[in-house]
Amino acid sequence: MAGKAVIVLWGMLLAACGGGGGSGGEGGMAPPPPEQRDVVFFSAHEAGGEPARLWRTDGTGPGTVRVHDSLMPDFGTTTLIAKTTLLADRHYLAGAQAGQRAGLWVTDGSAQGTSAIHSALYAGPYDVRDMVELDARIFFSAAADQGRDLWASDGTPEGTARIDGLTASGCPVNPQALRVVAGYLMFFGDVDCNGTQTLVRLDTTRNDATALWALSGSSRGEPVVLRGLWVVSVREGSSHRLLAIDPVDGARTLLLELPALGDLAIFEYLTRVGDHLYFVATETTHGRELWVTDGTFAGTRMVENKTPGPGSTQFQSVRAAAGKLVYVAPVLSSAHRIWAVDSPQAVAREVYQPPATGFSSPALHFDHEGVLYFFMVAEDMVRRLCRVDLEQGAHGCLQQRLSPALGFGMLALNDELLFIGYTNELGQELWRSDTLLGTAEIISDICPGRCNGHL
């Protein structure tokens, strides 16, 4: 793999069966030489009823190959994504072989460079989740006898071990929401062995842990790192609070407090764009609207009251793209449109309005070089892949009768788009397109014929 950048495809899963990496159509696209092409990893079922294996592709048929004959990436219970973490040009992921518990694996993209990592000091690690890289080590959650513990690995058996001493009486700490903040590893854990989630700061250079804040009787959302702060929404009694926590001294800054409204989610779509965090908040005066914060109380405000009065704006597909916040929402009772917020000081501007009839609301997917790619379902019930330039507004859709598979990932690779597509003739397979969506072609018919649905 020397000389190539290895990109991890976080959202791609290929469901296929049958033969190995067949040749893909090269069409009119002239790919760069193999030694100059980047690669991504994905997983594929090669036969009905068999588990998925780890594969890689550079976007060409000859460059699409199985990485390992027996490694089955472990996707957990909530996602079908093969999560890998890069450290020193090697990728770490959870996986297993037949008849064995899922553990920690490492790969450099070759069969010879793919192997399991077993601790020389403890049994395991097993059922690996939530990997992050810090200080030349991988930190992750792994199964323990009665729960889950925090582990670390430098890629060697001797350097792969459980981190002990995090709890009051030796119970599993059950780490959740691992994040790197200001050079520290931070997570929620049960340090008092009573089920209460406590925010923990770990100095990984000394394995020195400090309990910063106990969420007694609280529920929380997923944290976001903003300007070296840990930002999280919590419900405490009858209030929902958005808090920014300094990892150095544990000081908590209240950014916004709103009353609970039954079981409604008060804070949603926390999305970092540069040095600001956008979120959707619901309150009685303005309804459900877009807000922004810079991590201070004074810098937290509503972006605009898009639906006047107490009415709520129906936000969908909120995400960061090209240094902007983009989302899908209607104007009052009209059709859903794509909007962009260019800066914290700006209000949203309309980027794209779908045809008046015949298309569903856009589902935003990813951006590349200032262009936003999204899906819409057309009158013929085929999911169309479309694009819009976020500055110029130029837009278009792939005209081939090819449905991109939702939830399976898409990215730009070697100046082309890579995605999972479905056709009646071929089922779900790996496809590529030029970035203007002029044409698409199959990369590799991993499953000859129409075979899909083996997820």
Looking at residue 117, which CATH number applies to its domain?
Answer: 2.130.10.150
126 lies in some domain: yes
Considering its fold, how many domains does the chain have in total?
1
| Buried residues in 187-216 as b, exposed as e (16+ CB within 10 A) | bbbbbbeeeebbbbbbebeeeebeebbebe
344 lies in some domain: no
Q: What is the pLDDT of residue 35?
A: 55
In this prediction, residue 358 has a pLDDT band, given cuts at 50, 70 and 90, of: low
141 lies in some domain: yes
Nearest Cα residue to 31 out of 72, 65, 63: 63
Q: What is the pLDDT of residue 386?
A: 93
Beta bridge partners of 61: none
203 lies in some domain: yes
Asked if the model's pLDDT at residue 133 lies above 60, the reply is yes
112 lies in some domain: yes
Strands (E), 118-228: 129-134, 137-143, 148-153, 161-162, 176-181, 184-189, 198-203, 208-214, 219-220, 224-226
Range in 86-100, 130-144, 303-317 the model is least confident about: 86-100
334 lies in some domain: no
400 lies in some domain: no
Q: What is the mean pLDDT of the chain?
A: 84
Is pTM beyond 0.85? Reply is yes
116 lies in some domain: yes
Q: Which of 72-86, 310-324, 402-416 has the highest mean pLDDT?
A: 310-324
Which structural domain range is residue 202 located in? Answer: 60-215
Asked if the model's pLDDT at residue 264 lies above 60, the reply is yes
